[in-house]
Structure 1
């Protein structure tokens, strides 16, 4: 169970713990200077605008509709509109409060939790952000008519509003990581007044308590423009006058656009040399090394990947070293994934790794699939840019192995949400491209539990569910580490997803931008109220 500290972060220019920083740059390791670049708020002056390039089309501003809380997908603009109740400090791996004051279990069983909110926080429409507002939002998430992707996180959970600032939460299953679940998926709360008035149309005209409010939203251009919330709950913030979120239309020119000053921030450069090019072009670069990596998701609701022989054949047929060398010319970024946890992670175990490159083993698994009348004929679904390049390379390599017949299906970023998340219309997909983390909770739950919020593969294993539930109910840290290691070991054996290359966590930004402090594990979420410039033109 992560400790919880109330209050805002004190930002500094020194590195922290948590597995994200390595002091040497050899062998592709990010150094301490890159790992902490841009984090400090020191010297920030008020004013200015930041234009953020993101990866996903903007389809709703309703947090109940949120699928992925990553900064470059939906989390960035939702945090700007709503702020968040709690967040995970990626350096200290502790849960901290923004709107929230405390979130703690009543005892070591972790079945009942008390949540306390800060006093005096209001939504932009003047409605108090109190315990009743949180309850209203979470009840709406639970409502089947809402069809919220986050509903599984609150399944069977009940709430009791004790007073304006306090709520007691009773879980249907004990969970010592519930504070992390709230921080990484349930912290964006809308005004209940606005929700009631707008009904089903709420996502078109949102009202939050975040550092910014909506100025305009151009749906066809995928551009969302926000302005400073003058009534934001923290004095002296936000620093910026405006922040905009824009879906990248030309992924090949992202870094050039930042260097030219057309945009000021992104967490995805879309090319294998984006970080190197950004450094050469004088941009600010923040680079960290989480566990996990770039991955492919196997759809286990249809053939051939409903059979483990197909997933293991795929894994044995491909060489991560060759993939890294072929797809990336960056010494910082081109690192094959050898183990699920990095060496400096408290969860590290060198024996927990995906099935290795072994053509003889691949042939045995192909034969097993043939015996089960399960031919390895499939497509890899990918979006333009890096994902497409990766998919085409993998298909070419697999088609050289007897028993594989592989094609590539290219879809736009705008189509990705409907095709992959809603319709699950794929065999393998390379979107959203990575499964990176510092702590397994709650991401392993989202990815691998049969009812996980972002389990887009349809993977369902009673053994996995049981291992996850054991890990969640273990309050002793050493036992908790061992329990999550067993979850990762089964991930490697069942291969519901397959990792092949380390996926570095990074931001590229204007050299005068500061307050770039990532939170919520490796989701790359930023507290946008802390962003600002040290110099303005």
Structure 2
């Protein structure tokens, strides 16, 4: 498999795995159901971390959401659920996102400055920073690493190449980036995978070796068991207080929380609304993030799919009630809604498609008059998607659509059917879109030229609106454009949205110094254990 295909399918695997938790904790106990309550999912830090001077020593045990198996930033669109925290520990990030101010500040780099119209960005590096192999992390190294990322088809390479005209090392500590057009959110790229700078020596051998300038270095990896990183004594910010990090995976959200409660883990990465509510109500501190378009269905728009018919897409959107999905899968906890961006988002609330069974029935009847045979195929993952599938079957049955459900063993098979074979009409999916990356995520998921457009959605007007969003120069312009994107979404129905999705990195009361970053990544250079 080529690197380009590997990176695309890895990012799609994350999308499948994220939504795969949708029904993992579904319960049949009616007493457990509650009215959906989103107030518990307020974005930001929850609780307090220990005060005082960091205690030196110890190993931080992290129970992750998904196992990181490839340590090259090219291989994934890094976020806190796909291995972004682990990669940031090895490579660091050029810029850090401050959730409280919404601004980007220097992390591995010293600072960044944009010109007045956001067409040129000047990145200033810190003097004396070295990779863990002893070589200099200077402007030439930054340019070389990003060029490597682009050449090898990193997950965000297509967007970068479309928006960035050039980059150059102006002097040993300065990199200048020139945009094709104004790009207000370019800094996000340097805070995610492209900004994870890889040393030249990483490619010196036949097999990739993870060599970065982060606070930790690669120690050992046993597939299916654990990843261990050890402290980098030469880290530019000073040697970490911790001796090492250990990442392990528990297959269920409840199991992940249970090991944290039992004291067998210090940090737990959670993406199940019901389990997150349990963690917060149990007074476990952490970092809360909410991603818009976090739960839903990808629609096959390609020729040959019955859902190439926009009337049928509108009918399905008018029939599938997110509140029902939330009640049956998350015991009533969550942020259900058909809108792209909820009130909890910087860009919300927008007004999504309305639930209207009368209109849905009329649209299905019209489609049947035009030859629709009344059946739609739903694709899910075995053991975790059946409850969702049953809900979809029941709700679409009310408007005259018979759903034929197929369940595959796991995400690899899901990707093959959705991305390679296009053998589906509806499939469980997540288009998780954090506020700090709204343009990159919408471009990747829904622009007709994007290689990550899993549904094959192509709409000239939507393309233009997304492109305008990317070149907007003020937050007000972005907000106005997002409103227009929602209007076009309601008309063309690119996908089905069941709601936004909370993500919670929870930790015990013994953990201090964890720094929230973008996309549910946390930075661990200052982390320590009180015990």
Q: Same fold by TM (over 0.5)?
A: yes
What's 1:153 paired with?
159
Change (3 A) 1:373 1:207: farther
Cα distance between partner residues in 2 of 1:98 and 1:238: 15
TM-score of the two chains, using structure 1 as the length reference? 0.82
Q: 1:47 aligns with which of 44, 57, 61?
A: 57
Equivalence for 2:240: 238
1:286, CA displacement in angstroms? 4.4
Match of 1:366 in 2: 364
Which residue of the partner structure matches residue 355 of structure 1? 353
CA distance in 1, matches of 2:480, 2:365: 35
CA distance in 2, matches of 1:239, 1:172: 43
What is the deviation of 1:282? 5.6
Structure 1 match to 2:442: 444
User: 1:63 Cα deviation (Å)?
Assistant: 0.6
Where does 1:128-527 land on structure 2 (aligned, <5 Å)? 128-143=136-151, 146-155=152-161, 157-195=165-203, 197-198=204-205, 201-202=207-208, 205-219=209-223, 221=224, 223-235=226-238, 237-268=239-270, 270=272, 272-279=273-280, 283-287=284-288, 291-301=292-302, 303-329=305-331, 333-337=333-337, 339-343=339-343, 345=345, 347-349=347-349, 352-370=350-368, 373=371, 375=373, 376-382=375-381, 384-385=383-384, 387-413=385-411, 426-432=424-430, 434-437=432-435, 440-452=438-450, 454-520=452-518, 523-527=519-523
Cα 1:193/1:419, change in 2 over 3 Å? farther
For residues 455 and 262 of structure 1, do their structure 2 counterparts lie closer, same or farther at Cα, with a shift above 3 Å needed?
farther
Which shows bigger deviation, 169-178 or 210-219?
169-178
Structure 1 gap segments, 5+ residues each:
1-24
Picking from 97, 114, 121, the partner of 1:105 is 114
Asked whether the 8 Å contact 1:54–1:245 carries over to 2, the reply is yes
Distance 2:509 2:382 in 1: 29
**Alignment partners' CA distance in 1, 2:490 and 2:193:** 25
Q: Residue 298 of structure 2 aligns to a residue in which SS? A: strand
Determine if contact 2:49/2:509 at 8 Å carries over to the other structure.
Answer: no
- Distance verdict in 2 for CA 1:71–1:527, change over 3 Å: same
Provide the rounded CA distance (Å) in 1 between the counterparts of 2:431 and 2:346: 25
Shift in alpha-carbon separation, 1:296–1:436, aligned structure 2, 3 A = farther
Q: 8 Å contact 1:445–1:468 — kept in the other structure?
A: yes
Aligned pairs, how many? Answer: 493
CA distance in structure 2 between the partners assigned to 1:418 and 1:529 by the alignment: 38
Distance 2:451 2:201 in 1: 27
Distance (Å, rounded) in 1 between the aligned partners of 2:213 and 2:300: 38
CA contact (8 A) 2:292 2:432 kept: no
Local SS of the residue matching 1:530 = coil
- The more displaced of 127-136 and 418-427 is 418-427
Rate the CA distance shift 1:431–1:136 in 2: closer, same or farther, 3 A: same
Q: Which of 33, 44, 47 in structure 2 is aligned with 1:37?
A: 47
In 2, Cα distance between equivalents of 1:415 and 1:224: 25
* Secondary structure in 1 matching 2:393: helix
Q: Cα distance, 1:416 vs. partner? A: 5.8
Shifted more, 476-485 versus 92-101: the winner is: 476-485
Supply the RMSD in Å over aligned alpha carbons: 3.1
Q: Residue 234 of structure 1 aligns to a residue in which SS?
A: coil
How many Å apart are 1:252 and its aligned residue? Answer: 4.8
Alpha-carbon distance in structure 2 between the residues aligned to 1:413 and 1:41:
42
1:81 pairs with 87, 90, 93, which one? Answer: 90
Q: CA deviation at 1:71?
A: 0.7
> How far off its partner does 1:57 sit?
3.8
Cα distance in 1, alignment partners of residues 344 and 379 from structure 2: 33
CA distance in 2, matches of 1:455, 1:38: 40
Q: CA offsets per residue over residues 253-293 of structure 1, 9 Å max, x none?
A: 222222222222222254x5312433465643544556554
1:53 touches 1:72 (CA, 8 Å); kept in 2? no
Which stretch shows the higher mean deviation, 308-317 or 387-396? 387-396
1:225-277 CA-partner distances (Å, limit 9, x unpaired): 11111111102x5232221222333455222222222222222254x531243
CA–CA distance in structure 1, aligned partners of residues 429 and 214 of structure 2: 29
* SS of the residue 2:465 aligns to: helix
- CA pair 291-438 structure 1, distance change in 2 beyond 3 A: farther
Q: Determine the structure 2 residue equivalent to 1:22.
A: none
Cα shift at 1:40: 7.0
Contact 2:334 2:502 in 1 (8 A): no
Greater shift, 471-480 or 126-135, is seen at: 471-480
- 497-506 vs 119-128, which deviates more? 497-506
- Contact kept? 2:346, 2:435, Cα under 8 Å: no
User: For 1:87-126, what aligned pairs fall within 5 Å after superposition?
Assistant: 87-108=96-117, 110-126=118-134
Contact 1:384 1:412 survives alignment (8 Å) = no
Task: Tell me, yes or no, if the aligned pair for 2:271 and 2:504 is still in contact at 8 Å.
Answer: no
Q: What stretches of structure 2 of length at least 5 have no aligned partner?
A: 1-34
Structure 2 equivalent of residue 529 of structure 1 = 525
Shift of 1:208: 0.9
Contact 2:378/2:389 (8 A) holds in 1: no
1:251–1:179 Cα change, 3 Å: closer
- Deviation at residue 209 of structure 1 after TM alignment: 0.9
Shift of 1:207: 0.6
